[in-house]
Amino acid sequence: MTVACIVLAAGKGTRMKSETPKVLHAVLGRPLFAWPIEAALTLEANPVVCVTGHGRELVDAALVSAFGDVVRCVHQLEQKGTGHAAQIGMTALEGFSGTVLILYGDTPLITAESLRALIDAREQAGAPLAMWTTRIADPTGYGRIVRDDKGQVTAIVEHKDADETVRAIDEINPGMYAVDAAFLRDALAGLSSDNAQGELYLTDIVARAAQQGAVPTVEVSAEETLGVNDRVQLAEAGQVLRHRINQRHMKNGVTMWDPARVVIEAGVEIGPDTSLAVDVTLRGRTRIGRGVTVMPGAVLTDTVVDDGATIHAYSVCEDAHMGAGAQLGPFGRLRPEAVLEEGAKVGNFVEVKKARLGKGAKANHLAYIGDADVGPDCNIGAGTITCNYDGFGKNLTVLGEGVFIGSNSTLVAPVTIAARAYVGAGSTVAQDVPEGSLAIGRARQENKAGYADRIRKRYQARKKRIADEKAGRS
């Protein structure tokens, strides 16, 4: 099966009411155009041609970012209809013979399975063209499928060109075709703009195909053919895709407390026996292993989580890596390049940035660990921070194996605290600490007898004076 694909993505999308080209609006982590292209690539379509127009510089750049040189871009500089766009798409398929799929960049719900059925229908019938059809309760605005008394397709009539009899037909044309390349070149060359919109209708090639014999059709659901024209339909498409993605993961062994309240983007991978609580969001290239627990409200972006790790409630990770059995949160944050090795623990209100916590290391409360290399089995007390920024650049803090950092300590980088060293609570450490040493860097304590009572009396008198003044003013 030799297949090429043309994706029409040149429209402005005025109903989106956005400066962003319509096909660049994202649904579950992918721009709209990516979904039909992914479906075509699943069928090993080659080449895939994308016809861009409005905002083409932005769209072309996004296509390159998403697919590299797998997709060819051609430009429709003037909007003269879908037939004109297809003509431009065919300029990139010179010499190609086989089946050409024609798709649209704003239809994210199409599936490779239904496209395969469309291709098979054309090739098995030996017909020049096969098409999808669907039935909807309100077909207003759509092209109608006109059939003869034998049920064979004879033409597609656009709504603006249809009389009342044709407008009563509820079978509509969603616009997806599988077409023989040679026939498509000839049919596109013969298109005319003699219609209500003065455009070249791609739909006119169906009547020409019908003149050569039966036009096979594949009826698909209205859901699958949904085109996104506004923000409401964008959200509807997102709900359908979320349901599909969540179902796939659940069938592969992932538990979800309430799948309606879990958002998983298309590029995420999850191992079996992982449990996802409500309001979990998994984004980008996140990869989660087996037996992981993700509690309510967690948000993970481009993060790797190894087997058996636990992410407690309302934790946030971005471009981070959690090792096997590691724990995060609740209310923990892993920023880019944070690494928790096997069994490491980062607790509530702890932030880690560009730092490694070795096997079994702990930072359980209220700490900031940035630009640091923390050895195995270290314990970092509550309120500890690494002072990594000197106003001009970032500096590294190194903790050897088994280091204990007392609560409310300040580690001024660059600094190295060697293996098994202790840092006393409340210390400011600005010099290296040798192996096995105790570092205490705090001011000497002084107790002044009776002074607290004098301060208390002074503050009470001031409070009374202020209250009396307010009473006098009122």
Q: Which sequence positions are flagged as catalytic?
A: 365
* Distance between CA atoms of residues 109 and 143, nearest Å: 20
Do 214 and 125 meet the contact criterion of CB atoms below 8 Å apart? yes
* Distance between CA atoms of residues 40 and 28, nearest Å: 19
Q: What is the DSSP letter of 467?
A: H
Closest by Cα among 223, 215, 201 to 136: 223
Do 404 and 422 meet the contact criterion of CB atoms below 8 Å apart? yes
Residue 442 CA: distances (Å) to CA of 144, 166, 367, 423, 424: 82, 88, 19, 11, 9
Residue 155 CA: distances (Å) to CA of 58, 70, 143, 199: 36, 34, 10, 17
Q: Which residues pair with 31 in a beta bridge?
A: 26
3 state DSSP class of 116: helix
Residue 157 CA: distances (Å) to CA of 53, 219, 325, 343, 352: 26, 18, 62, 65, 61
Would you list the DSSP string of 224-268? TT----SHHHHHHHHHHHHHHHHHHHHHTT-EES-GGGEEE-TT-
